[in-house]
Structure 1
Amino acid sequence: MRKNKWLLGLAVSVSVVGLAACGGEDGGDSSEETSAAAEQSPGAEAGQDGKPATDDIPDVVAEVNGDKITKDDFVPLYETQYQQMQMQSQQSGQQVDEDQLKTQTAENLVSTKLLTQEADKRDIKVSDKDIDKALEESAKSSQMSKDDFLGAMKDQGMDEKKVNSEMANQLKIEDLITDEYGEFKVTGEEIGQAYEQAKTQQEQMAQQGGQQQEVPELEEMRPQLEEQVKSQKSTEATQKFAEKLRKQGDVTINL
């Protein structure tokens, strides 16, 4: 079974995180949170719709080995990340550093482009069935139907064709990492460490909420913990390989 949610820095996965964060809440509440966050962040130049100013973004944000990353590629991802950070700023009181976020967004897109270029060199392909299954999983993780998920993505500037394209890239990269590093193994010690971390986090959340909640036994959580450790290893390997390709490639960022 594919685990497309393992990957970081991709337009779809970032948007999925944002949708999942508000999927179980009333949409009006989310808008109120975004507006409140904008009011608490006087340095952020957001419009009334909670979106950042993007007029200064160049038409070609970056070039990667001759391939262009355009403003149209950049803006939906940047706006999604910005709105998430605006909501977080309501809790932390820290305003969004737009320049840093722009750079981070561009770097994420460059990494994605480098990895997909390498996947294409290795003739790694994914089927329409793989893409459809991954979309179903993403919608489910966001507590939405597939149609509602695609509608929400469209609201974020990504039509169905763009979503399918980004999901295909995501799956290609997963297969590329498997091709490069093989299947990731998980030791009993790693599962034990993940369990202790999960236990500590759950206990802290219970204390903050004023409720005592019993933590499941390790064996009950083992499948989930094993996937979590694999996810961490896959993410680390993806970032490592992207850095390697970056050093070997010809990359120009125009921000």
Structure 2
Amino acid sequence: MKKFVMGFGICALAFGLAACGGDEEATPEEEPVASEEPVDGEQQEMDSLIDTSDIPDVIAVVNGEEVDREIYVSSLEQEAMQLAMQGIDVESEEGAAYLDQVKDQVLDRIINSILVTHAANEEGIEATEEEIDSGVTDLMGQFGLESEEQLQELLEAQGVDMDELRNDVAESVKSNKFVEQKVADIEVSEEDIQAFYDDAIAAMPEAEGEAELPSLDEVRGEIEYQLQMDILLSDLREDSDVTVNV
């Protein structure tokens, strides 16, 4: 069920940003999209884009919790489909290199999400019914659903029920609260912000025409938040037992 709401909640706050370790490119302005199960024809096309045969049933174990391959495979297939829609041959050297990078990023996002969920639960953070209701409404908006009946139909097609959805949304709400509380206490130096900005600008392709690169002041808040998240996630990993099987 988690894959259904992977784009919701904590991902919107944290995992559109660089994963712990700094390997993932920063995209703080991008709103992740919730994952919807493909129809049969689309699934066949995605299966031909990426080989998932060597992915084990348990991709990782996070503090004793086994992480099923299903959410990992679903995310990889989505990434492969998006790459193909951009006209990039996934069997080319460029496409293969991108997919290799994406595999690590997807795995990091999944593990980070679980670590934050565990930490939020350990601290006794709760989600109110009103917050869960609001989260479900937001999720419906991401799918373009106008009624609870449409949502029920989508859930039934996925083989889940409303209670499972609300439980997942509650976990996302609690995780968001945890992140907001912890990030507020993490200090980032001006030197680190400047260094991050300089590196990001240097890595960007040359601007076309008269397009201007953003100034540091325009993106300072996003950079500071990303650096705070890097510190938070690094601390969580250091205090956790994580075994990766892929």
**Higher helix content, 1 or 2:** 1
- Is 1:49 the counterpart of 2:45? The answer is yes
Query: Using the alignment, how far apart are the partners of 1:71 and 1:177 within structure 2?
Result: 26
Query: Using the alignment, how far apart are the partners of 2:82 and 2:158 within structure 1?
Result: 12
Match of 1:71 among 62, 69, 72: 69
Q: Read off the aligned partner of 1:250 and give its amino acid letter.
A: D
The equivalent residue for 1:219 is none
The equivalent residue for 1:130 is 131
Deviation at 1:72, TM superposition (A): 2.8
Q: 1:243 to 1:155 in 2, by over 3 A?
A: farther
Query: Using the alignment, how far apart are the partners of 2:79 and 2:164 within structure 1?
Result: 17
Residues 55-64 or 65-74, more deviating: 65-74
Contact 1:64 1:250 in 2 (8 A): yes
Contact 1:76 1:157 in 2 (8 A): no
Query: Using the alignment, how far apart are the partners of 1:82 and 1:91 within structure 2?
Result: 10
Q: Read off the aligned partner of 2:242 and give its amino acid letter.
A: V
Q: State the superposition RMSD in angstroms.
A: 4.4
Q: 1:233 to 1:171 in 2, by over 3 A?
A: farther
The equivalent residue for 2:193 is none
Deviation at 1:153, TM superposition (A): 7.3
Secondary structure at the residue paired with 1:79?
A: helix
Q: 1:155 to 1:74 in 2, by over 3 A?
A: farther
Match of 1:6 among 8, 13, 17: 13
Query: Using the alignment, how far apart are the partners of 2:224 and 2:160 within structure 1?
Result: 29
Secondary structure at the residue paired with 1:48?
A: helix
Contact 1:125 1:172 in 2 (8 A): yes
Q: Deviations over 1:140-162 (max 9, x none)?
A: 24543255567667778876555
Q: Percent identical across equivalent pairs?
A: 21
Deviation at 1:56, TM superposition (A): 1.8
Contact 1:57 1:71 in 2 (8 A): yes
Deviation at 1:83, TM superposition (A): 2.5
Query: Using the alignment, how far apart are the partners of 2:134 and 2:220 within structure 1?
Result: 23
Query: Using the alignment, how far apart are the partners of 2:139 and 2:222 within structure 1?
Result: 16
Q: Deviations over 1:107-161 (max 9, x none)?
A: 1111111111111110112134322211212332454325556766777887655
Query: Using the alignment, how far apart are the partners of 1:161 and 1:234 within structure 2?
Result: 33
How is 1:96-175 mapped onto 2 (pairs within 5 angstroms)?
96=96, 97-145=98-146, 147=148, 148=150, 163-175=165-177
TM-score where L is the length of structure 1: 0.56
Contact 1:60 1:68 in 2 (8 A): yes
- Is 1:242 the counterpart of 2:233? The answer is yes
Secondary structure at the residue paired with 2:232?
A: helix
Deviation at 1:252, TM superposition (A): 1.2
Query: Using the alignment, how far apart are the partners of 1:233 and 1:8 within structure 2?
Result: 15
Secondary structure at the residue paired with 2:141?
A: helix
The equivalent residue for 1:62 is 60
Secondary structure at the residue paired with 1:68?
A: strand
The equivalent residue for 1:217 is none
Give the paired residue count: 191
